[in-house]
Amino acid sequence: MKPVKRIKDILKSTAPEDSLLVRGWVRTRRDAKDFSFIELGDGSSVANLQLILPKGIIEADTFKDINTGTALEVEGELAPSQGKGQKWELLVKEIRVLGPAGPDYPLQKKRHTDEYLREIAHLRPRTNKYGALLRIRSEAAFAIHTFFRERGFYYVHTPIITGNDCEGAGELFQLITPGPGAACGLHPQAPLKTLAEDFFGKPASLTVSGQLEAEILAHGLTAVYTFGPTFRAENSNTPRHAAEFWMIEPEAAFMDLSGDMDLAEDMVKSVLTQITSGCTEDLELFDKFVSEGLLLRLEELKKKDYTRISYKEAIEILSSAEASFDFMPLYGSDLQTEHERYLTETHFQGPVFVYDYPKTIKPFYMRINDDNQTVAAMDLLVPRVGELIGGSQREERYDVLVSRMKELGLKPENYWWYLDLRRWGGTPHAGFGLGFERLLMLVTGIGNIRDVIPFPRTPGNLEF
């Protein structure tokens, strides 16, 4: 079975072809007197290839098998289309059914709800919408790799299984290895091996971030980034949270908070530019059926300067806003979703960096500013999605870091290697985390994280 041309490329043909082999799945079939019209798709584009199938070249039995969902191999003549709506069509000479689909096929030609499609996540990649999403997802990943590579950032793999991250124990997935002979579907109350016998000889959990290890690598290679899965065992059912999601975490030596914001803004704009030029047809689908005005909004995100305000200014703006918030904007508290929306959607009507947060609401590793009250942290808030990026300059001063750890009740000896980075050849350095699924929600206008990841993991959902 030799590879054949993809339909996306066939549709771009510049000349007819006498004999062309195509493979794909039937999207629709419409029967006329002497011909059947079949729309054939192979997942390479929203647009299908129209097949003209003359009556009589196939057996009735085979014909019966050609329904929405059927996999076909077709040979024919590629000719300029007589009909409207497409430039080319394929006049079928031979047709082979590779895998039929009966009338019970769950994806008939009609609009299905997102909820229904989540239940058949093994079939939804065959729909126009999820096909388009998956192509954009692939292109977005490549755009991210391209952006960082061109800037001299090296792609690194930080560990998934970790013995660190002791801070948020309640939000961690912990690991066990079943004893010898344990059956599949081990019940959590079944007897487990003792700690000493356990695989790693100490408690292990799934990473919530590769940052600490990325800092190690940035002190070798100057500039690195991760792109890998991260996990939260948070039992929250919201449209923006998943238990398993992919993060991109650049980290660079010799970079301060201002450089960190420059990098984040450049990255978002560069990635959007690559996606809007590489996935035009797919984005048009989302503009038309999912989020009206999407394309215009993406153009603005590519052009606009992103506003930068301190946390203090943000609180001032919110405090004097003529809006009724459920939560009062208070200096020293986290910004709530309603506050983020007000800043980005009402006040600035565009992306906003908020920087210099009170140290009381931020973790130990962020660099203390000269006021000794705030840290060099930044969040990038965007309309509709909220927090897209969170980053900071890291505390590079050994003594300051140690006293900050003690202040927060952390044991410095658990962070011996992290402190070593400050003992020898430490540098001012910074980085951020971008949630890949959040980026895709921004790019496609899809409102639920469950619909931008092929097989979402959320509380109670572990199918597929």
In the range 298-357, which residues lie near its own copies by CB under 8 A? none
Please give the residues from 220 up to 249 whose contact with its own copies meets the rule CB under 8 A: 220-222, 228-229, 231, 233, 235, 243-244, 246
Whole-number minimum distance, CB 165 to its own copies, in Å? Answer: 8
Q: With contact defined as beta carbons under 8 Å apart, do 433 and 390 qualify?
A: yes
What does DSSP assign to residue 343?
I
Cα three-residue angle 407-409-410, rounded to 5 degrees: 105
Q: Is position 194 an interface residue for its own copies (rule: CB under 8 A)?
A: yes
Per rule CB under 8 A, count of chain residues that contact its own copies: 130
Whole-number minimum distance, CB 345 to its own copies, in Å? Answer: 29
Return the range that interacts with its own copies (CB under 8 A); candidates 2-10, 29-37, 322-330, 339-347.
2-10
Please give the residues from 17 up to 56 whose contact with its own copies meets the rule CB under 8 A: 23-26, 42-44
Q: Choose, by CB under 8 A, the member of 54, 163, 239, 293 that binds its own copies.
A: 163
Q: With contact defined as beta carbons under 8 Å apart, do 224 and 431 qualify?
A: no
Return the range that interacts with its own copies (CB under 8 A); candidates 12-20, 67-75, 306-314, 341-349.
67-75
Q: With contact defined as beta carbons under 8 Å apart, do 83 and 39 qualify?
A: no
Return the range that interacts with its own copies (CB under 8 A); candidates 118-126, 269-277, 293-301, 320-328.
118-126
Q: Choose, by CB under 8 A, the member of 49, 92, 217, 314 that binds its own copies.
A: 217
The gap from C-alpha 417 to its chain's centroid, in whole angstroms, comes to 31
Q: How far apart are CA 179 and CA 305, in angstroms?
A: 57
Question: Are β-strands 49-54 and 88-99 bridged in parallel, bridged antiparallel, or unpaired?
Answer: parallel
Whole-number minimum distance, CB 424 to its own copies, in Å? Answer: 4
Q: Is position 396 an interface residue for its own copies (rule: CB under 8 A)?
A: yes
Q: How far apart are CA 422 and CA 417, in angstroms?
A: 9
Q: Choose, by CB under 8 A, the member of 383, 428, 431, 445 that binds its own copies.
A: 428
Could you please report the per-residue DSSP string of 195-238?
GGGSTTSS--EE-S-SHHHHHHHHHHHSEEEEEEEEE-------
Q: Which is nearer to its own copies, 280 or 349 (CB)?
A: 280
Of residues 439, 440, 441, 395, the one with CA closest to residue 419: 395
Q: Is position 264 an interface residue for its own copies (rule: CB under 8 A)?
A: no
